[in-house]
């Protein structure tokens, strides 16, 4: 996966050689490794299928954001909740029933104000328009104030 990330970044003009790209091979929960690897301000962080597995997703959002999320349909969300205990064991702690898209959108600073200058959340692709899927995924673009 990292080779493909590097290839796509290079096509957009970002490379590790010129310092415009840094790909870390660690989990989002490993904040110490992330912070020790990054020595300059960061403009963009890309997190793919991460928030479903980290122990403290709401705290992790503060540092990081494609994840699958809890469905907005009550019937599907119920099934996600039923499947999550078994799913977590098989897939390294992944929880199908976390509303990480909502948590990200509602992130606030110490004063209670939104941390986002602008944000947008959308479905991943046409095949994700099937609202009955237990693997509903959403993309988000968040620009910090």
For the chain, the first-to-last Cα distance in angstroms comes to 31
**DSSP-assigned letters across all residues of 57-107:** HHHHHHH---EE---SSHHHHHHHHHHHHHHHHHTTT--TT--HHHHHHT-
Residues of the chain with pLDDT under 50: none
SS3 38: coil
What DSSP state is assigned to residue 117? Answer: E
The token pair at 22 is 């840094």
**Phi and psi at residue 138, to the nearest 5°:** -135, 150
* pLDDT computed for residue 124 by the predictor: 65
pTM: 0.57
* pLDDT computed for residue 85 by the predictor: 94
* pLDDT computed for residue 141 by the predictor: 80
């Amino acid at each position: 996966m990292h080779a493909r990330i590097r290839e796509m970044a290079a096509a957009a003009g970002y490379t590790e050689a010129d310092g415009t790209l840094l790909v870390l091979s660690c989990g989002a929960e490993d904040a110490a490794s992330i912070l020790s690897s990054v020595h300059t301000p960061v403009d963009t962080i890309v997190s793919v299928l991460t928030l479903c597995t980290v122990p403290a997703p709401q705290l992790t959002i503060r540092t990081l954001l494609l994840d699958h999320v809890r469905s907005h349909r009550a019937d599907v969300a119920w099934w996600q909740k039923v499947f999550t205990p078994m799913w977590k064991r098989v897939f390294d702690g992944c929880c199908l029933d976390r509303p990480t898209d909502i948590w990200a959108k509602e992130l606030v600073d110490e004063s209670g104000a939104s941390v986002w200058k602008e944000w947008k959340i959308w479905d991943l692709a046409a095949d994700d328009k099937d609202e009955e899927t237990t693997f509903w995924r959403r993309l988000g673009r968040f620009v910090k104030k």
